Amino acid sequence: MDLGIRGRRAIVCASSKGLGRACAVALANEGVHVTLTARGAEALSQTAAEIRKANPGVVVTEVVGDITTPEGREAALNACPEPDILITNAGGPPGGDFRNWTRDDWIKALDANMLTPIELIKATVDGMMVRKFGRIVNITSSAVKAPTSRDLSNGARAGLTGFIAGIARKTVVNNVTINSLLPGVFDTDRLREPDARAEAEKRRISIDELIAEYNKSIPAGRVGDPEEFGLFCAFLCGAKASFITGQNILLDGGAFPGTL
Ligand code: NAP
């Protein structure tokens, strides 16, 4: 299916690895010029090179920086001042008990997972509305639908979700849609990083055993493949997806048990 977005420009935040990377790959495969961001230059440059090789007609721009800081956002916007597509994303906050979090911990989580997407939307949405095309997709979490053990994430992501629900209805008349994708468990580095390692160590099992447990607990019988996440994101950014806005779409292999 041709999504009708060849030649469009996208900022894909936090995209050297994982879900952000998968979104950038899927968009580039549709002929979208992509601006990628990440803090680490090495993985970013590797991802950019892979995308360029697979899509010689696509312009791939790398921006090294922390997207949760004003400087990081300014650098991304300078590299792509008039994006048609914005994918907001950043690392998630650590897990743990809310009793252990200070005000500074909360501000950091809110900055990363609520205020950064809001700042990026603020900087880009009016231009999109004037140009009569815009697709904004926020990568949030299944925590929006059913809280997880990550108290900081539950709070920060709910704040973003409430904000989006309001503005997504105001932009769509100008063909600017704003939606969020809610990942369940996907096979990215995050699955093997600190929180997972700590849980595995606490329970004296290996990371592979922990992942096998995830696989069993998901009705699909497996964790998600980032590629399927990226393809869904690209679809939402397509020219014909203009009637979908303000939605929070779970991609979780059936893990959420509710009827609605
Ligand atoms: P990942 O595989 O660890 O990749 C994270 C990517 O974001 C990397 O490219 C990383 O590069 C970049 N990044 C992180 N913090 C950044 C920052 N402050 N500024 C710029 N780039 C940054 O993570 P993921 O699994 O794709 O997760 C993406 C988001 O989805 C996270 O918010 C996560 O909490 C959420 N989520 C994921 C899952 C899942 O199962 N994977 C489930 C629910 C929610 P650098 O480190 O070099 O900056």
Span 62-120, pLDDT tens digits: 999 999 999 999 999 999 999 999 999 999 998 888 999 999 999 999 999 999 999 99
Q: Could you give the C-alpha distances from 71 to 43, 65, 67, 98, 104, in angstroms and in order?
A: 20, 8, 8, 29, 19
pLDDT score for 194: 75
Residue nearest to ligand 1 atom 32, measured at CA: 92
Q: Is there a contact between 32 and 10 (Cβ–Cβ < 8 Å)? A: yes
Among 44-48, 158-162, 196-200, whose mean pLDDT is lowest? 196-200
User: Residue 191: pLDDT band by 50, 70, 90 thresholds?
Assistant: confident
Angstrom distance (rounded) from CA 162 to CA 150: 19
CB atoms within 10 A of CB 169: 12
Distance (angstroms) between ligand 1 centre and the Cα of 89 equals 7
- Beta-bridged to residue 134, according to DSSP, are 176
Q: Stretch 177-198: mean pLDDT, rounded?
A: 90
User: Residues lining ligand 1, judged by CB closer than 6 Å?
Assistant: 14-20, 37-40, 43, 66-68, 72, 89-92, 139, 141-142, 183, 185-186, 188-190
Q: How far is CA 37 from the centre of its chain?
A: 12
pLDDT score for 190: 84
Angstrom distance (rounded) from CA 246 to CA 171: 10
For a mutational test of ligand 1's pocket, the pick from 39, 88, 120, 207, i.e. the residue with the most ligand atoms closer than 8 A to its C-beta, is: 39
Residues 6+ apart with CB under 8 A from 97: 151
For a mutational test of ligand 1's pocket, the pick from 19, 36, 37, i.e. the residue with the most ligand atoms closer than 8 A to its C-beta, is: 19
Helix (H, G, I), strand (E, B) or coil at 33: strand
Among the listed residues 78, 59, 83, 95, the one whose alpha carbon sits nearest the alpha carbon of residue 202? 95
Distance (angstroms) between ligand 1 centre and the Cα of 135 equals 20
Residues 128-137 have pLDDT tens digits of 999 999 999 9
| 3-state helix/strand/coil string of 64-98 | ECCCCCHHHHHHHHHHCCCCCEEEECCCCCCCECH
Q: What is the pTM of this model?
A: 0.97
Q: Is there a contact between 260 and 56 (Cβ–Cβ < 8 Å)? A: no
